[in-house]
Amino acid sequence: MNNSAQATASPRLSGPSLVYAWYSVVLLTLAYILSFVDRYMLGLLIGPIKADMGLSDTEIGLLLGPAFATFYVLMGLPLGWLADRARRTWIVGAGILLWSAATAWCGLAKNFVQLGLARVGVGIGEATLSPCALSMIADRFPEEQRGKPVAFYSAALSVGAGIASLAGASVLAWTSSRGMVELPMLGEMAPWQFTFLIVALPGLPLALLMLTLREPQRQQSAVLESGEGVTMKQALGEVWNNRASYGALVSMVCVMTIVAYSQGWTPAMFERTWGWSPQQYALYNGLGLLAVGPLTVSLAGWWSDRLYRAGHKDAPLRIVMIGLAVLVPTGAVAPLMPNGGIAFAILLVNNMGIAMLSACAPTALLNITPGAIRGQVVAMYYIAISMAGLLLGPTAIGLLNDYVFGEQGIHYSAALVPLAFGLPVILCLPKIRRAYGRRLEALS
């Protein structure tokens, strides 16, 4: 592509513009953290929910994965299309209100169907966030400054899980000491039900704050620039024409989401295998994730920007590959350890690999995607990785527990999942890097 066909480079941000850009990143990251808190909480409450509703591990797996993922996936592409045209701050604000209300509904559910429908509502609301958020971040920051804010936003994966663990541990400890909780108009509620109501509360003020954000000006690109906006057909065509490059990146991220979402079973594994109570696991896990997650994500973003400035245009992809090489073996080995302490320590290293990959994969995606279709491509990206992670991860553990290893063999199920899905992709890393590099060259 000649120079005249390239998009005009964005100036480097400084001063008040940089401060405001980071203010918007902080608000979007808070929303992402809240989404993970609401999404993650169900995994901490498997025991009491199973006892009260009489559910099987397979049914719990469906609630952890497909019930959430179905509409999260179905709504992703239309919302990505909308993100390329409408005011993104309003879309995100509405989404926060929806998933917070659905989280509260989880606490009011009386049976499997009601809880499943509530999880569907959480999925629809959360589908609004990342297509809009990453599109806004890309429009606020030039490429050479994009790694750190994207990594900061992506830190919500570990920070959100950590806060969810600590919040869950605190609420469970308090409510367990009190037994049933009496609330006006709602009557008596079990501790797990009250937990859902508590974690849903921050959604309203955060949604209102989101409306205070200014909408960033969309970056124009010579690639696919046409009139008021690119059609969904054009966006799909662009991805299909470059399917090897996009597929190379997405395959690695799918392994990460499969492993990460299968870890919704980790509190149950620690309880069944090593006798840790949910409160004990949640406390240690929360502290551990908050200790290693943000630091790893920050270092990954800094490293990505440093390598990029040094002339390595595939810098974020390199870090994604390193993260994959860390998370697969540690995910397979940790469940087989003789005691919970060693297993937990190895899982902290596993979470460092997950954090590295999740921090840099969105940057790697944005760097091979024309600005005119970023919202739609980000939506397609989250559709793909969510389908893989949510449909395969939790459900595979539940099925293996019920039909292969038994409930007490959950550690074998947890060890098998990262190995089965991750090893084939690791063997393809040289081909993955070449495919991604070809796309970068085509856009340069």
188-211 b/e (C-beta count within 10 Å ≥ 16 → b): ebbbbbbbbbbbbebbeebbeebe
CATH architecture under which domain 14-443 falls? Up-down Bundle (1.20)
Strands 181-183 and 187-189: antiparallel
Domain ranges of the chain: 14-443
8-state DSSP, 263: G
Instruction: Provide the residue type at 191 as one letter.
Output: P
Give the model's pLDDT for residue 230: 67
Q: What dihedral angle (degrees, nearest 10) is formed by the CA atoms of 100, 103, 107, 108? A: 80
The single residue listed with the structure tokens 């440093």 is 306
pLDDT grade, residue 349 (50/70/90)? very high
**Could you give the CA distance from residue 71 to residue 374 in angstroms, rounded to a whole number?**
21
**Could you give the CA distance from residue 396 to residue 62 in angstroms, rounded to a whole number?**
10
Of the candidate ranges 94-108, 153-167, 190-204, 420-434, the one whose mean pLDDT is the lowest: 153-167
**Terminal C-alpha separation, the chain:** 7
Give the model's pLDDT for residue 152: 80
CB-based contact 410:397 (threshold 8 Å): yes
**Could you give the CA distance from residue 319 to residue 302 in angstroms, rounded to a whole number?**
11
Give the model's pLDDT for residue 221: 52
Q: What percent of the chain has pLDDT over 70?
A: 92
Give the model's pLDDT for residue 331: 96
How much is the average pLDDT of 214-222? 70
CB-based contact 30:206 (threshold 8 Å): yes
Task: List Cα–Cα distances, 279 to 143, 170, 444, in angstroms.
Answer: 43, 8, 52
pLDDT tens digits for 365-404?
A: 988 888 778 777 877 887 888 888 888 888 899 899 999 9
How much is the average pLDDT of 130-144? 81
pLDDT tens digits for 407-417?
A: 899 999 999 99
Q: What percent of the chain has pLDDT over 90?
A: 30
Give the model's pLDDT for residue 175: 62
